[in-house]
Amino acid sequence: MTDTTTRRYARESEEQTKEQSSESEKEHVDCPECGGKLTSDAEHGETVCRECGLVVEEDEIDPGPEWRAFDSREKDKKSRVGAPTTNMMHDKGLSTNIGWQDKDAYGNALSSRQREKMQRLRTWNERFRTRDSKERNLKQALGEIDRMASALGLPENVRETASVIYRRALEDDLLPGRSIEGVATSALYAAARQAGTPRSLDELTNVSRVEKDEIARTYRYVVRELELEIRPADPESYVPRFASDLNLSEEVERRARKLLQNAKEQGVHSGKSPVGLAAAAVYAASLLTNEKVTQSEVSEVANISEVTIRNRYHELLEAEEHIPDR
């Protein structure tokens, strides 16, 4: 019963994210809602409370580079001249759009002759824009990704990542023989995991038009072909969602995290389903903090059987005893 043959949810290699300790904020204001620490995130233009998730400021001005990128190291950082490009539109938002109003640049109405001309231009422009099959393919896939991401409450950056993954899959000719839907779903699944906001295969299946098996199969294929590096989901990343679904306090959440970290250090969890671990931790934490929730409630939101919760949470508590330290 050691971990010799349990590779299913392989251990994470080393510390996967020690960012907890090295959080360097410049802001030192406290959250108006709960008094927690604020973290500003220039990339997404938000200032968020780490404790309660309150978004304090949105649409801040990006302090990133503008003109001065003489250095070739900066080649990746796009200067902010021109409209931002986005991977979420099939042509990265760079295509021409011809306005629908029949007005010239001064707002004057066009002559009938010119109106006809414009109509023809619009037609052709549209044809070029979605010219070949790949473009049309992308258009559809990105629409799907967007739809599913919304349904699952996944943030924008995940959609972006998913879009990028899909794009790569398309470029590497991974599509033939596979459904657009399937690959799109897989891309989203992969993106969500990479971003540390995983959604289970079941959840994906609920919003996708594709069967679970196909998603899983396609996912594996895409990951292998694209050599995406995706580590097993960290149980902790499920905790906040479960906790909030169950209306549990942050105290419980913290406790659950601790349990998981403890277990991690002892390698108790290896080959076990991360979701199951997370669910068990939440349950155990709710007991320890006298904010009781029932096993069936947890199993409900986590989509995990009660039996599994029982087994896991025994293990968690046991691990806690072996190293009662800390």
Residues of this chain that bind DNA (CB under 7 A):
1, 4-8, 10, 212, 216, 271-273, 276, 292, 294-296, 303-308, 310-312, 314
Cβ atoms < 10 Å from Cβ of 282: 33
**Selection from 288, 271, 283 nearest residue 310 by Cα:** 283
Tokens of 266: 């002892």
Please state the closest distance from residue 296 (CB atom) to DNA, in A: 6
The Cα 259–Cα 278 span in angstroms is 9
Tokens of 271: 């080959």
Q: Toward DNA, which CB reaches closer, 142 or 304?
A: 304
The Cα 70–Cα 67 span in angstroms is 9
Please state the closest distance from residue 176 (CB atom) to DNA, in A: 24
Q: Toward DNA, which CB reaches closer, 158 or 302?
A: 302
The Cα 241–Cα 53 span in angstroms is 12
Q: Toward DNA, which CB reaches closer, 216 or 226?
A: 216
Please state the closest distance from residue 97 (CB atom) to DNA, in A: 44
The Cα 117–Cα 135 span in angstroms is 26
Please state the closest distance from residue 267 (CB atom) to DNA, in A: 12
Q: Toward DNA, which CB reaches closer, 131 or 314?
A: 314
Diameter of the chain measured on Cα atoms: 85
Please state the closest distance from residue 303 (CB atom) to DNA, in A: 7
Please state the closest distance from residue 141 (CB atom) to DNA, in A: 24
Q: Toward DNA, which CB reaches closer, 137 or 295?
A: 295
Name, in order, each residue with C-beta under 8 angstroms of 108's C-beta and a sequence gap of 6 or more. none
The Cα 117–Cα 99 span in angstroms is 13
Q: Toward DNA, which CB reaches closer, 134 or 310?
A: 310
